[in-house]
Amino acid sequence: MLEEEILDFSRRLECLPQFCVLTAPERDLLMQNSAKLLVGKGQILFQQGDLCSGLHILLSGQMKLAFASPQGQEKVLRIIRPGESFCTAMLFTKQPYAFFSQAVRNSLLLHLNKQAMHEIMASNPLFMQNIMQGLADDYQQLVIDFESVRLHSAAERIVRYLLREMEASHASSGVINLDVAKGLIASQLNLTQEHFSRILNELHRFGLIILDGRRIEIPQVDALQAYIPATA
């Protein structure tokens, strides 16, 4: 990378919660062992069976992590948004990826070398703590998602997703602008796109949400929340 790019990426890294405890020399070490990756829409970043060489941080665009069955069916595990790192757990194992990563949009990523990450974690306990906290958060969300598929109805999964998106986007006005294709959201919730759209339309008919393309307005959050036990 050019010196100007290294400086720019180093500043971006400093703004991310997991990396804010790094010293300037530690950031320099990471940047010296990093790579800028431009991944075009539809392009595969890594395949199932590939070995992990480091941590990925999405700077712009959108990526997905997914399984692919031998029949060609796809199950989306997670949608990655700018500012998020992914595949943290793979830093601590020699096992290959059990899923693949593909760009949903043209994306810019920063790849941090696995060995350099290990060196800094070994000498900086606070950084190791941040990385392990992120790993624990990912595991907790995985458990929640698994429980949701097993125990919650399709409608409840969608309602919970909408409420979570509203909270994550700090949409105090009750308006959510879906930045992910409905088909990807449906796969993440273990639904077909048709089933997902049908339930959204039902919620719209009941007056619990107002649909306008990818814009979803929640007139009364309490009313939508109350819909959850009714579908359990």
pLDDT of residue 104: 96
φ, ψ for residue 57 (rounded to 5)?
Answer: -125, 125
pLDDT of residue 152: 82
φ, ψ for residue 2 (rounded to 5)?
Answer: -70, 155
pLDDT of residue 231: 44
Provide the token pair at 55. 């941590």
pLDDT of residue 232: 40
Provide the token pair at 122. 């070994």
User: Residue holding tokens 């539809």?
Assistant: 42
pLDDT of residue 38: 96
Q: Structural domains in the chain?
A: 3-142 (2.60.120.10), 152-230 (1.10.10.10)
Helix axes 193-205 and 154-168, enclosed angle (nearest 10): 80
pTM reported for the whole predicted model: 0.84
pLDDT of residue 139: 85
pLDDT, one tens digit per residue, over 8-30 is 788 888 888 899 999 999 999 99
84-109: string of b/e by CB count within 10 Å (b at 16+)? ebbbbebbeeeeebebbbbbbeebbb
For the chain, which residues score pLDDT lower than 70? Answer: 1-6, 170-173, 229-232
Provide the token pair at 146. 């698994």
